[in-house]
Amino acid sequence: MKKILITGGAGFIGLALAKRIAKICNVDLIDNFSRGKKDREFKEVLKNKNINFISHNLMFPIKIKKQYDVIFHLAAIVGVENVSSNPYKVLTFNHIFLENVIQFSKKQKKLKKFFFFSTSEIYAGSILSKTIKFPTPENQFLTLPDISDKRSTYLLSKIYGESLCIHSGLPVVIVRPHNIYGPRMGLDHVIPQLAYKFFHKKEVIVFNPRHRRTFCYIDDFIDALLLLMNKIKLNYKVYNIGNSNEEIQIIDLAKKIMKFTNKRKKLTKVDLNNSSPTRRVPNIKRIQLETNFKTKIKLDVGLLKTLNWYEKFL
């Protein structure tokens, strides 16, 4: 049975991956709960005999005496509010986290794949410079935004991280997630933020209502990761993962959520100058050709599942 290590294992994606992968692998999770939560789902997952939790701060070297077949590095400082309030911390901590995981990975004698989780935010500068293609392929020429903008520190840390991984000598697979959503994703993203407002506010403020996104449900995203993990040989290092269909404006997303929650609220549109990309649509032909990946969960279905969870636990 394969041995898997997931950093940031108590987070939204990390725990969802652990639940699925533990059916076929032994899984160790690393987290220090700076962002991940020791909640009901986390405690339930730890009941699985194939899952082991290791409390560790990745600011310090990893000293686990085990050999792993696959390592997934998800741990990072993320979230617009976190990034805007701690830009220096984002640049330094995300680099140190990655460097410590890389050094640990280099000591692994049978490591088959090292997954680095980048971000779709790296395309933000190309959107601002109007040099971007939609849907956006992995070989899109990257243009940097204003590096004095606090929000840009997150994408800078990920661009540097991608380069560090590519030149590390490890069997690297870089994934660029595009608007992954689902139950237990916290409140730092547009879908749970809107859900919270519809459940608890009299008026719903919709920020950047004309921005456009495609959303990928967490189950589809995990399917893609497992396909990449199990593929014996990959031709590329970098893969967009997301949904290239059902592009939607944020205002129309809000209207869908209002319909599904059955809560009639006043919608107030507010445009923010906060460096948020105006459009985000991935070209996913590369992963489709390599693994036959297909998204299965329609937006309406995924939204209902997500909203039902948030209505219960918010």
pTM for this model (two decimals): 0.96
Residue 82 is predicted with a pLDDT of: 79
Alpha carbon distance 140, 118 (integer Å) = 15
First to last CA, the chain: 38
Using the structure block, give the residue that is written with the tokens 């920020």: 207
Residue 83 is predicted with a pLDDT of: 83
If you average pLDDT over residues 18-26, what whole number do you get? 95
If you average pLDDT over residues 129-140, what whole number do you get? 96
Using the structure block, give the residue that is written with the tokens 């059902």: 246
Using the structure block, give the residue that is written with the tokens 């990959």: 234
| Token digits of residue 79 | 């979230």
CA dihedral 280, 71, 75, 51 (to 10 degrees): 110
Average pLDDT, the chain: 95
Convert the pLDDT of each residue in 86-104 to its tens digit. 999 999 999 999 999 999 9
Task: Kindly give the residue spans of alpha helices, DSSP state H, lying in 5-79.
Answer: 12-21, 40-45
Task: Kindly give the residue spans of alpha helices, DSSP state H, lying in the chain.
Answer: 12-21, 40-45, 80-85, 87-106, 124-128, 152-166, 190-200, 218-230, 250-261, 285-291, 299-313
| Token digits of residue 81 | 């509010």
Share of the chain above pLDDT 70, in %: 100
Convert the pLDDT of each residue in 218-243 to its tens digit. 999 999 999 999 999 999 999 999 99
Residue pair 229/111 in contact by the 8 Å Cβ criterion: no
Alpha carbon distance 83, 178 (integer Å) = 18
Residue 54 is predicted with a pLDDT of: 97
User: pLDDT band at residue 55, thresholds of 50, 70 and 90?
Assistant: very high
Q: Does position 37 have pLDDT exceeding 90, yes or no? A: no
User: Is the domain 2-181+215-245+281-296 a CATH 3.40.50.720 member?
Assistant: yes
Count the Cβ atoms, other than its own, within 10 Å of residue 161: 24
User: pLDDT band at residue 74, thresholds of 50, 70 and 90?
Assistant: very high
Alpha carbon distance 149, 145 (integer Å) = 8
Residue pair 32/100 in contact by the 8 Å Cβ criterion: no
Alpha carbon distance 75, 186 (integer Å) = 15
If you average pLDDT over residues 172-191, what whole number do you get? 96
| Token digits of residue 145 | 């935004």
- Return all residues near 237 (Cβ < 8 A) that are at least 6 apart: 166, 172, 173, 174
Residue pair 221/283 in contact by the 8 Å Cβ criterion: no
Question: 3-state class of 124 per DSSP?
Answer: helix
Dihedral pair phi/psi, residue 240, rounded to 5°: -70, 135
Helix (H) or strand (E) holding 207: strand 203-207
User: pLDDT band at residue 266, thresholds of 50, 70 and 90?
Assistant: very high
Alpha carbon distance 51, 17 (integer Å) = 11
Using the structure block, give the residue that is written with the tokens 């220090």: 32
Alpha carbon distance 221, 146 (integer Å) = 31
Share of the chain above pLDDT 90, in %: 90
Question: 3-state class of 118 per DSSP?
Answer: coil
